[in-house]
């Protein structure tokens, strides 16, 4: 079974609008962390936001917020006020604490911001 599932291969959003990128995860470990990364066309991986499984509040970092629904095992990324520079691949990832240091990545969502 896939540990991380990103069901949207491609998404389009109008500039200045908000967009939600979906991520669901599968784990039986009660302690885990969820991460979102951005990969622009230049290829580097840029960390965006982190949510721990025991964190009470949803994480926010500037225009990025993580809609964490633990019971549904979802960790959707919300980008507000989209900018042209947000066009990139976005990857959701999970770290399970009982497996030590392994990370699992989803297959990614390609976001295109339309002017």
Partner 1 sequence: NAGVTQTPKFQVLKTGQSMTLQCAQDMNHNSMYWYRQDPGMGLRLIYYSASEGTTDKGEVPNGYNVSRLNKREFSLRLESAAPSQTSVYFCASRRDRRQPQHFGDGTRLSIL
Tell me which residues touch partner 1 (CB under 8 A): 4, 33, 35, 37, 43-45, 47, 50, 52, 91, 93, 95, 97, 100-108
How far apart are alpha carbons 66 and 63 in whole angstroms? 10
Largest CA distance in the chain: 44
Compare residues 45 and 114 and give the one whose CB is closer to partner 1.
Answer: 45
Q: In whole angstroms, how close is the CB of 115 to partner 1 at the nearest point? A: 27
CB of 114 to partner 1, least distance (A): 23
Distance CA(22)–CA(107), nearest Å, equals: 12
- Asked if 48 contacts 62 with a C-beta cutoff of 8 angstroms, the reply is no
Q: Which is nearer to partner 1, 63 or 104 (CB)?
A: 104
Q: Cβ 11 to partner 1, closest distance in Å?
A: 16
Our CB check for partner 1 shows the closer of 12 and 103 to be 103
Q: 17 or 61, CB closer to partner 1? A: 61
- Nearest approach, Cβ of residue 33 and partner 1 (Å): 6
User: DSSP secondary structure string, 34-89?
Assistant: EEEEEE-TT---EEEEEEETT-SS--EETTEEEEEETTTTEEEEEE-S--GGG-EE
């Amino acid at each position: 079974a896939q540990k991380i599932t990103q069901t949207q291969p491609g998404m389009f959003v109008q500039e200045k609008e908000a967009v939600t990128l979906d991520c669901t995860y599968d784990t039986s470990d009660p302690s885990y962390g969820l991460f979102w990364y951005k990969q622009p066309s230049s290829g580097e991986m840029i960390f965006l936001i982190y949510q721990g499984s025991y964190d009470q509040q949803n994480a926010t970092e500037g225009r990025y917020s993580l809609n964490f629904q633990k019971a549904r095992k979802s960790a959707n990324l919300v980008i507000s006020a989209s900018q042209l520079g947000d066009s990139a691949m976005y990857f959701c990832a999970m770290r399970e604490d009982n497996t030590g240091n392994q990370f699992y990545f989803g297959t990614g969502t390609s976001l295109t911001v339309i002017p």
